[in-house]
Structure 1
Amino acid sequence: MSATTAPTPKAPGKPRRGLLVGIAAGIAVLIAMALDTTVVQIGSDGDIRQQAFSPDKYGDEQFPRIQTFIDERAVDAATLGPAVLADKAEAAKRYGTASSTGAIMPVRLTGVAGEGKSGVYDLSVEGVPADIHVRVQTGPAINGTDLRDATGDIEFGKFKNQIEFQNAGSGINRAMKKQILDPTDTTNLTGKTVEVVGVFRLINPKNWLITPSRLAVK
């Protein structure tokens, strides 16, 4: 009988070089991802910045301080009227907040509402020169950005684009309407006495369109 020689076991092979390179690359990618990941805590400033801009939420947050600002600086219409007619630039500098399209003027008055059209009422105000046409807008649509621009610190640079900046003004207007105008019956103010605190944009000294920050029917 011939003897059979058992095969000699092969020594374990070394890992392939390509496999090692692939594993190393994968680890490098995971490390890079970890370094590039930012953890944002819910409710933090970082979390708020990543949320979509809400004009109505912004308006609800900003209107109370805008209202306080106007309350503290509002000038009686009987004082403001002669001042803007005498020297528009000086009155704007003394009483208003500068803006690119006319100073925003804070005013307070008591007047009798006249004819109203589309929620805008003429006002007869004692002590205001007859040359000045005073009106107040009560909705349903509140136009303009006078409330947004009243404080001078809500600036375009704080927003992503012009649309967001414009929407901020609309959100503030809606917040005012919800808090001030909606609880008040403004459907027929003609002949009624109203107390108004608000702002108007000083473009034509003889034409005031007031956006109210407070309005009460007497």
Structure 2
Amino acid sequence: MTPSSPTESPAEELASDANRPGAAPARPPAARRRTVATKPSVKVRAIQAAVIIVVLAAMGLATEWRDADAPATTAAAEQTFDPAKFGAETFPKVAPLIEQNATALTELVPALTADADAAGEKYGKREGSSPYSFPVTVEGTGAELNGSLLSLTVEGLPKETQVWVQVGPAITGTSLRDATGTIKFGDFLNQVQYADAGTALNNEVRTKVLAGVRPNTLKGKKIAVTGAFTFLTPEVVTLTPVKFEVTP
């Protein structure tokens, strides 16, 4: 009985395998356990790229571009605008322009009824796509007083057309600001200042035009008004006056 060969050690087994014809060079056990680093998958790289794009876009949206001549700070620019000063300086310029360019209301209302856009381009002014504002003049008879509004009965207008004149104390709207076309939104820092400009002109009407007017005494009186209104419908005309005359 042939005795069995002794069991080979791992090192001897490797050496034996290496000596076999055509065998590949043996690697030590440590090399077999080496972990090869893998590159990020296509999906991971796409997500990383998308995150970078979003961050850059957000940075662009958060960036405020200013002209070199623009005010240093918004707060400082806002402090330079004084509505009361604007009204006092601008109303004496606006009122004569409205008087010079005023269209008789008895002419304008039929034109608005026939073709509002054509009448707006011919007689009115507006900023962007806002409603047209018109400088007008009208004579009528004082009628109903409704709060800060005085109704006028005007001959030569359609019966369905109501004419109201703002007689205070509240004067609202932006007709005076918009009717001449000389006051633009771009002249102001923001919408707040633009609105304040309209209010400032209305305040001048109350102190300069209507200071001596007693609305509750105007019923039945002959009244001549020159002013402006913003068009919404030819059936209702609400005037802000720059000239208000009552026949004794």
Give your verdict on TM over 0.5. Answer: yes
Match among 225, 229, 236 for residue 196 of structure 1? 225
Match among 105, 113, 125 for residue 77 of structure 1? 105
Quote the residue 1:61 is aligned against. Answer: 89
Long gaps (5+) in structure 1: 1-48
Quote the residue 2:190 is aligned against. Answer: 161
1:104 matched to 2:148? The reply is no
- TM value normalised by structure 1: 0.73
Return the letter of the residue paired with 2:174.
Answer: T
1:2-151 equivalences under 5 Å are 52-99=80-127, 100-151=129-180
Quote the residue 2:211 is aligned against. Answer: 182
Identity, in percent, stands at 37
Whether contact under 8 Å (2:145, 2:216) holds in the other structure is: no
CA distance in 2, matches of 1:50, 1:87: 41
CA distance in 1, matches of 2:159, 2:146: 21
Say how many residue pairs are matched. 171
- Deviation above 4 Å: which 4+ runs of structure 1? none
SS state at 1:123 partner = strand
Shift of 1:84: 1.2
CA distance in 1, matches of 2:238, 2:206: 16
Whether contact under 8 Å (1:77, 1:127) holds in the other structure is: no
Bigger relative CO (Cα 8 Å, ≥ 6 apart): 1
- TM value normalised by structure 2: 0.65
Bigger CA radius of gyration: 2
Whether contact under 8 Å (2:148, 2:167) holds in the other structure is: yes
Long gaps (5+) in structure 2: 1-76
Shift of 1:51: 5.5
Superposition RMSD in Å: 1.8
